[in-house]
Amino acid sequence: MKLHILGCYAATPRTLTNPTSQVLEIRNHMFLIDCGEGTQVQLRKQKIKFSRINHIFISHLHGDHFFGLPGLISTFRLLGRNKEMHIYGPKGIKEAITLLLKLGDSWTNYPLVFHELTAKTPKLVYEDDKVSVTTIPLDHRVYTNGFLFREKPGERQLNIEAATEYGIEPVYFRNIKKGKDVTLDDGTIVPNQALSFDPKPPKSYAYCSDTAYKPSMVDQISEVDWLYHESTFLDSEEHLSAKTKHSTAKEAAKIAKAAQVGTLLLGHYSTRYKSIVLFKEEAATIFDNVELADDGKVFEW
């Protein structure tokens, strides 16, 4: 997995910081997660090909998470897109986007497919033979979902030395990777375990922004490789997090610890603080493996 941070700050765009947007590369997919203002510019800065984005996941209908979407949809049209674009987001997103297109007489010349969400329990919203995406219900001032991205187990890895030793022809290699045994010319059955290695463990990524502290999500995100969890405030402003239904860095760390995740990635920082390093220092008092999202950063695992 490869995660591009396009923007990770709360509220409004500034000269040096951008509101929330990410691109996750996973098994030949390039998923756009949230689309705050400035997303197009950030995509160009990071040299991400617009044409590779076919699925967009919007967590909620606050401007700093989707106001960049109408412009991006229009740009796809100007670039001559003809492939389907799938947009997953709260009920109302279709009305909001199509009204702008209607008033501007700028309908897309490519299929725009909306998947509107209303469920308050986890819902599988995308699946193919390589990856699945499930909603993570969050607790914010409006209906909000995070998203859990999981790889599916890959093929077994061929043990070429063993295959050569048994005299197995390359034509059988594909079946070996699929987990099948091989029958030799003399009738001997060679078990797959002798010809291949276990596949690499499937990877996972949980995206949680925006939300109040919500321990009930722990079971769903248990042992994910990376968890992005909003940390709008520090513990000194916990009263504001409760009022606005956001989280502190310490609360994000508590979730990470309880879920036993591999790495905690903090983001959605309030710009009231002089340095985002303060968020890492606070979270590290609870959970050891903490990283800081920042505009332009790329993480790979």
- Three-state SS at 266: strand
Q: 171-208: string of b/e by CB count within 10 Å (b at 16+)?
A: ebbeebbeeeebeeeeeeebebeebbeeeeeebbbbbb
Asked if 155 and 178 count as a contact pair (C-beta separation under 8 A), the reply is: yes
User: Is 268 annotated among the ligand-binding residues?
Assistant: yes
Selecting among 64, 105, 139, 225, the annotated active-site residue is: 64
Strand partners, 292: 266
Asked if 110 and 82 count as a contact pair (C-beta separation under 8 A), the reply is: yes
Strands 189-190 and 196-197: unpaired
- Three-state SS at 122: coil
CA angle 48–25–82, rounded 5-degree value? 60
Asked if 209 and 228 count as a contact pair (C-beta separation under 8 A), the reply is: yes
Does 288 qualify as catalytic in the annotation?
no
User: Is 60 annotated among the ligand-binding residues?
Assistant: yes
Half-sphere exposure of 211 (CA within 13 A, CB side): 24
Enter the tokens of residue 125.
């919203």
Cα distance between residue 204 and residue 136, in whole Å: 13
Q: 259-282: string of b/e by CB count within 10 Å (b at 16+)?
A: bebebbbbbbbbeeeeebeebbeb
User: Is 246 annotated among the ligand-binding residues?
Assistant: no
**SS3 readout for 160-208:** HHHHHHCCCCHHHHHHHHCCCCEECCCCCEECHHHCEECCCCCCEEEEE
Asked if 156 and 176 count as a contact pair (C-beta separation under 8 A), the reply is: yes
- The catalytic site residues sit at 64
Q: Where is the binding site, in residues?
A: 60, 62, 64-65, 140, 210, 268
Residues annotated within a binding site for Zn(2+): 60, 62, 64-65, 140, 210, 268
